[in-house]
Chains A and B, each alone.
Chain A
Amino acid sequence: MPGVQFTILESPCVPLPVENIDTDQIIPARYLTATSREGFGEKLFRDWRYKPDGEPDKQFVLNNPEYKGSVLVTGRNFGCGSSREHAVWALYDYGFRAVISSFFADIFKNNALNNGLLPVVISADKLEHLFMLVNREPSMKVRIDLEHQLLEIPKAGMALKFDINPYKKECLLRGLDDIDYLLSLKGEIEKFEKNALG
């Protein structure tokens, strides 16, 4: 089965300059009772996006018509807390395809990579600079080129190299799926079981 492909993305940014955003904020636990992967976008950042009476909170960036785009720019330690993959499904379903931060929580990062949502890590200084640029010009576009591992900000004449593990990069560029690969190892896994566990 094909996985999700990611090659080049060009988009304005949505800034959310808060640190330590946990997956309970990205998708509150009370919405985790669904048995499919679809429809979580509606509940993305539910308790920050809406007031208790259900009215959209105009202060929150997703309700600000100036900011539209498929790149979320956010503070360090994004995605900490619960392992719920629903957080990634919610971001993806809402329309995000990449998240930029100075560092991500481990499980969130793995979940993101397994669903074609690209986590882009840049230094704290560069992140600060990007927030400043986006604040100044909300419609400013960034360009993410996975093959060359480049985050380009043409307006500022900036091109930042980012790290990604080579295996996941290959999977995303080619739309490959981990499970197909693991299934192809069946013989080796059985041999391991016999030798190591037998």
Chain B
Amino acid sequence: MTTTPKTIPLVDIRGLRKRYGTNEVLKGIDLQIERREVVCIIGKSGSGKSTLLRCINGLEEFQEGALTVHGQPLKIHDPHAMRELRQNVGMIFQSFNLFPHLTVGQNVMLAPMLVKALPKPEARQRAEKLLARVGLAEKFDYRPDQLSGGQQQRVAIARALAMDPEVLLCDEVTSALDPELVGEVLQVVEDLAGQGMTLVLVTHEMNFARKVSDRVVFMHQGKVHEMGPPEALFSRPQTPELQQFLSAL
């Protein structure tokens, strides 16, 4: 798209402010996410991490500021613009949100068939390939409630990848899982990162953040409090709030 030597960020957030009624949860966020970057957002509950993530794909509306994805400004009240944007931005949820009345394969096939008008055989092929990629090829005809939490989350990842997004938003994707199932999901995410996917993760898995991310963002009371490479942030926290947060882990 661009031939200039300086690439534009994939996600460009400037001066974002969001209120719920009189309660301001995001107090002016400036953040740029480059292509192929893996950014982990950490912080206490209530710091605004998930809200920020949900603003990026339009699940939450913000009052002030500008948000641009892939060069296009986010226009939440424009259904066509949102449809375009959400094909570029995928999301994985803490509670998986698989469609219970469809099989695993149908879950993955549905959106490409509807939104991208992919013919059924191609959609099926794509679904089979993606399920194999997350290690669940043999579960194609199973129902979501027949799978474990970790398997369901991996299906959710395959479902999001089926839309071929530019960036994947992961909202505490392992927080609802039993500890022994966390590893299989993190492995899939790590593989995605290794394959060059742009990822923005809200997570409490500090070891994972340390290992996989290019940049860690620490949020506190609705603002980006500290930001930097994982080694610097975790070993040499600059602000007392981050020091306190890390010591409580």
A interacts with B? no
- B contact residues vs A (CB 8 Å cutoff): none
